[in-house]
Amino acid sequence: MKLTFLYTFLFLFFTARYICQDVIVKKDSTRIKSKILEIRPDEIKFKYFDYQDGPLITLSKKEVAYIFYLNGTKEIFKEVINLKADSFYYAEPIVWQGDTTRSKKHTEPKIGDYIKFNVQVGAVMNSLSANYTRREPPAQRTASEKYSASSNKYIFNYNIGFNFLFGNNAYIKHVIGVNYLRSKGEYNYSSGSLGSSDGYGGRTTHSEDFHYVSKLDFINIVTGLRLKLFKKLYIEPLASINIIVQSDVRQSGASTVKYISGGPTPTLYKTETEYFSNKKVSAERTGINSTISLCPKISYDFDFNKQTLGVCISYNLAYEFRLPWIMVGFTYYPFKKLR
């Protein structure tokens, strides 16, 4: 009887000692007898069960297969899902010891599930045949006016900006962005008009022939959708509000007034010409101002050295004004929580 009592006592002692501890089983089958103090989304903090006065140990969840808790439950850890994905994820702890229910534990939504942010730098290519109105004035019997391109040469400028992407749908995002763009242009302008009578049958004619060189700085506020085609390739049908924040338009050429006498044989008897060289005028003088345009964009995101980068190409086209530029740029997602 004494031996039976002793065996029973020892069995209960070691069994109680075992079940009063948490057992962490790693993916390499290593077992750790522990006292778990804290479980975070990506790590577990514990102390060794046999050395609870020792240091606090931190273990990545990526290394853990499952845990036997002291209350008899078992939790299986799935592979950690990349938090940069466009959707939420679920962990499914499995309860054992007679309770066969499976419960779902929803993670707290992250700001990056709804909002992404990137900065953009690039080069803008535009034709020198830019920065003047597309609108041809209506033909008149007493006046004419015309703009024309003076060069089809293409030049390069720079672009900087940033974009916010809103929405938790993996395939459709709303885009709001701000860009700073510079556009240069060269073009010709000519006009002619017939003046009023001088009271004696004579008239005056006015004509202008100018060459313009322009440099306009725009703030572009863009908005629209970002549609995922496949993998990390996106198409973005965007609209842009183009606001002129600074302009430098130079005018060179001549303005001429001719005086014609009346009578049966009208005769040119005086000509007055005013010459201009590199005279600064307002952007509105050339018929251009802040406007709205379409700027469709194609972009591709990729991971490089644990960072998210992207390349993009965009075309900005205004209906009323000659603002054709092609933009090629790079994007960078600087904040992990906003990817």
212 and 284 together in one domain: yes
Q: Looking at the predicted structure, is the pLDDT value of residue 137 above 60?
A: yes
The predicted model gives 162-172 an average pLDDT of 89
297-304/291-294 β-pairing: unpaired
For residue 222, pLDDT over 90 is answered with yes
Looking at residue 141, its pLDDT comes to 67
Q: What are phi and psi of 4, to 5 degrees?
A: -65, -40
Residue by residue, DSSP assigns 26-42 as ETTS-EEEEEEEEE-SS
Whole-model pTM: value is 0.59
Q: Looking at the domain assignment, is residue 4 inside a domain? A: no
**126 and 236 assigned to the same domain:** yes
Whether residue 12 lies inside any domain: the answer is no
- Given this model, what pLDDT does residue 110 score? 66
Same domain, 23 and 139: no
The count of structural domains within the chain is 2
On whether residue 8 sits in a domain, the answer given is no
| Boundary of a domain, candidates 52, 83, 108 | 108
Considering the domain architecture, whether residues 68 and 198 belong to the same structural domain is answered as no
Tokens of 172: 């459709």
Residue 3 pLDDT level (bands cut at 50, 70, 90): low
Residues 330 and 224 in one domain: yes
Looking at the structure, tell me whether residues 172 and 218 fall in a common domain: yes
Instruction: Note whether residue 215 is domain-resident.
Output: yes
The reply to whether 5 falls in a domain is no
Looking at the structure, tell me whether residues 219 and 282 fall in a common domain. Answer: yes
User: Where would I find the H helices in the chain?
Assistant: 2-19
Work out whether strand 172-197 and strand 43-48 pair parallel, antiparallel, or are unpaired.
unpaired
Residue-number span of the structural domain to which 327 is assigned: 112-338
d(CA 149, CA 140): 22
Count CB-CB contacts under 10 A for residue 223. 12
pLDDT, tens digit, 9 for 90 and up, residues 288-303: 778 888 999 999 999 8
Q: Please indicate, yes or no, whether residues 130 and 103 belong to a single structural domain of this protein.
A: no
Q: What is the pLDDT of residues 91-123, one digit of tens each?
A: 444 444 444 444 444 455 666 668 889 999 999
- 211 within 8 A of 169, measured Cβ to Cβ: no
Structure-token pair, residue 178: 């701000």
Quick: pLDDT tens for 174-208: 999 999 988 888 889 898 888 777 666 678 889 99
**Averaged over 243-268, what is the pLDDT?**
88
Q: Is residue 318 part of a domain?
A: yes
16-25, 48-57, 127-136, 240-249, range with the lowest pLDDT: 16-25
55 and 186 part of one domain: no
Confidence check: pLDDT of 80 > 70: no
Instruction: Output 313-320 pairs: Cβ under 8 A, ≥24 positions apart.
Output: 314/236, 314/238, 316/181, 316/220, 316/240, 316/242, 317/293, 318/134, 318/242, 318/291, 318/292, 318/293, 318/294, 319/134, 319/293, 320/133, 320/134, 320/135, 320/291
| Averaged confidence pLDDT in the chain | 80
Tens-digit pLDDT profile for residues 306-338: 888 999 999 888 877 777 788 899 999 988 766
- Looking at per-residue confidence, does 236 or 285 come out higher? 236
> How many other C-beta atoms lie within 10 A of the C-beta of residue 17?
12
Domain boundary, last residue among 108, 125, 142: 108
Residues 135 and 240 in one domain: yes
Q: Are residues 179 and 312 in the same domain?
A: yes
41, pLDDT greater than 90 = no
Residue 176: partners with Cβ closer than 8 Å, 6 or more residues away: 163, 164, 166, 221, 222, 223
Report whether pLDDT(210) > 90. Answer: yes
* Geometric angle at alpha carbon 187, from 185 and 193, rounded to 5°: 145
Candidates 170, 143, 295, 290; CA nearest to 219 is 290
Residue 2 lies in a domain: no
Tokens of 202: 């004579």
For residue 28, being part of any structural domain is answered with: yes
Q: Which of 60, 82, 108 is the last residue of a domain?
A: 108
- Does residue 134 sit in the same domain as residue 192? yes
Nearest to 274 by CA among 288, 301, 255: 255
